[in-house]
Structure formats: C-alpha cells, structure tokens
Structure 1
Amino acid sequence: LTIAAPRDITAKWLQPRLAAYAAHQPDLTFQLIAADEALDFTEANLDLALRLTDAAGEHEGVKLGEAAFVTVEAAQGGPEQRIDWPGCPAGDKPAIIRVADGGLAIEAAANGFGRARVPLLLVQADLAAGRVRQVGEAMPSLLSYWLIAPLPQWRQKKVKALVEALTA
C-alpha cells in the first residue's frame, strides 16, 4: 500500500496504527510518502492519502476523529507564548517560535517553548502519555483529518481493509 500523508500525522498517528495492522498482515508492505500539498493519485501511484482538510473533496473519504483544535503546553506548565506553524489557527499574541508542522509544534510545547494550537487527533497520544497538557477547551474547526482516495482505489479490497482498521 502506498500512502501519502503529512509527516506530523504520519509520525504521531499513522505509523503506530500501521505497525499494529502490519503485525496481522505479513504479506503486506507499505510505502509512506510525505505529502503536504495537492496530490496526484495517478502520478504517484497512491492507494490512499491522509489530509488535514474540510472534506474529502472530489474523492471518496472518511473523517478521522473530531474536527477540533486544542491548545497544549508542557506537562508541568509553561509560558503563555504562542507556537506557530503553517495551518495553525491565528492567535492574538505574537509567536515565540514558528515551526514546520503541527508535530513540531507539539514538541516545542512539550519542551517548554509555550503553547501550541494543534488538531486534537494529532496530539491525543501525547496528551494520554502526559507529555503535554491541554489548556482550555477544544475549539471546533472546519478542518479535520480525512482518509481519502479516488473511487477506483477506494473500492480495492486492500484499501477497504486498511480504512476499516484505521477507523476501528
């Protein structure tokens, strides 16, 4: 299976689930492609993509988790300075640091730089592990993570099985 996804969601959410799935599928192999921009499923020979978007668009898809962003900081607390990243909802304070993605924003928060506003799905494992703590309530968002693919790929048995496993 060839899967395109941004690096942060691949590291924080997708890889642990793929590893669990692969443990029961010994004949299956994966190719993960870092993709943050528009996708060409044909050119890249993709089976599936994971995107932070508002809908599946022209493709088939399923939304993963709640469409919400949360603000997190180091587990022991930290400064109220904002950590910024592309895709982050705008804040009312200037950022102390700007990083490349939401995963790095979580790491910056965990390391005590300040507070990062990130998708809930992206940070759930870090919250559960106590690496960061949530500040305030979750904020509804138009953006959420989606598994998407064109209809021909979406109908493939191997893609259907993976989508089922990832959404279970």
Structure 2
Amino acid sequence: MTQAVLDKESFCAQVIGCQETMFRTARAILRSDEDAEDAVQEAICTAFARRDSLRDTEKFKPWMLRILANKCYDACRKRRSTVDLDTAGELPAPEDDHAQRLTLWQAVLSLNDDLRAPVTLFYYDGLSIREISRVLGISEAAVKTRLSRGRARLRQLLDEK
C-alpha cells in the first residue's frame, strides 16, 4: 500500500491513463458529450485538490471514478427538469419504428441511469463488481442485480426489429 501524496506529474500520468474510462463513464451517466467533458474536468480538479485523501495510489482509478460519479450525479440533480403540464400535450410522441437495429453502444446508452453505469463500468472499462460497488456507492449485490437486469434489457433491445 503506497500512502505518499501524488505529485503533479504522477497525478497527470494517472489521469491520462484513465481518461477514456472517465469520459465513457461520465457519458454513460450524463448522456451528453459536453456534460461528460465538464464533469470529467470538475472531477480532475477536485481529485487534484484532494489527492492527499488517496490512501493507496494503486487504487487511483476507482478513487477517481468515484469522484467522477459524484460529480455526474451532482450534475443530474442540478439539471432535473420540470415539465409544464400545459405544454406536455404538445410534445411529439416517441416513434415506435424499430426497423433499424440498434448498435450495442446505442442500446447501452438507452438503458436507464441505474443500469447504464454498471454495464459501462463492467463491460467497457473492465472494473470488478467490488470496484463498481465502491465507485457507485451501492452494494455488490446491487451491482450484480443491475448487471443482470442490464444484460436482459440489452438482449430485449437488440432483439427488437
């Protein structure tokens, strides 16, 4: 267990090593490239300021992803929209045309927030169930359940025509 505070160069090297994972995770939670970029940037700034709280430099990636997930969920809470019921009737109905088959990534992005983040972290970023549990702040059993439900939903989405 390495308990030294990361210097600027080491911190930057660690961030560069997990930048794709960070963006993919933020994108999975926020569903917007711009919002994901903002969240990643905020998470990096916060992590740098709090790098003395990292107890084990070997666990930088899960630590960083936890900070990022918190930033993403903060952004979700801030942007929760309200709907004016007078205009709700004017919104176009979603199309039920499934003639074009979804790609796997499109299907993953269409999952609800609770399923999308664990699926992305597990299958795209290679995190273990224990690491995902720490990153998302949920139990390992909840991670397993969400992965199972996510897989079932993906199967359903990809089988639709």
| TM-score, normalisation: structure 2 | 0.23
Larger % of strand: which?
1
Larger % of helix: which?
2
| TM-score, normalisation: structure 1 | 0.23
Query: Larger Rg: 1 or 2?
Result: 2
